[in-house]
Each structure stands twice: as structure tokens, then as C-alpha cells.
Amino acid sequence: MKRTRRRFTTAFKTKVVLEALKERESMQELAVRFELHPNQISMWKREFIDNADKAFAGDDADEDRKAMEKEKEDLYKQIGRLSMENEWLKKKVL
């Protein structure tokens, strides 16, 4: 029988990472306790630490997203205008 991949919720991953950060137990003990491979815990821990700065970027992230959406909209308008000009010039040449 083929074994399916296990999927973990973000709540479970966070729980495991926080336990790993406390360093009360070794990686091997945590792996046995949570039925995971120690490398998986290390990967989640590294990812958590690398992205920790995003936890406090609430307002900045919203402003950045809005600015990117505005820029995207402006670029689409410019593309539309340029393609219309291009079509007009093709008709004039022919």
C-alpha cells in the first residue's frame, strides 16, 4: 500500500519550532515526540528565523502591496496606450 504524504498545519509547525527554540530537549527527542525527522524540524526552525522580521511588518506590508498594485495598474495602462499607438502607426505605414 502506497503511503501518502503527511501535511502539517502552520499551528503544528509553529508549536514544534517554538519547542525547538526553547532548547529544553534535543532535536532527536523532539523528533521522537512529534514523530518527525530531525532535519525537518531544523528546516522549519531555519525558515521561522529567516522570516521572523515579517511578523512585525503589518502596516509596511500593506503599504508595499498597495504601492505595487498601483504601479502594476499604471504599467498596464501604459502598455495599452503603447499598443494602441503601435497599431495606429502600423496602419499609417501600410
For residue 61, pLDDT over 90 is answered with no
Same domain? 71 vs 46: no
Same domain? 64 vs 34: no
Domain that holds residue 34: 1-56
Same domain? 6 vs 43: yes
Same domain? 24 vs 63: no
For residue 39, pLDDT over 90 is answered with yes
For residue 62, pLDDT over 90 is answered with no
Same domain? 63 vs 17: no
Mean pLDDT for the stretch of residues 52-58:
77
For residue 59, pLDDT over 70 is answered with no
Same domain? 48 vs 86: no
More confident call, 2 vs 83: 83
Cα dihedral 47, 50, 56, 58 in deg (nearest 10) = -70
Same domain? 46 vs 64: no
Same domain? 51 vs 61: no
Encode pLDDT of 2-35 as tens digits.
888 899 999 999 999 999 999 999 999 999 999 9
| CATH, residue 7 | 1.10.10
Residues 6 or more apart whose Cβ sits within 8 Å of residue 38: 27, 28, 30, 31
Reported confidence tier of residue 55, pLDDT bands at 50, 70, 90: confident
pTM of the model: 0.59
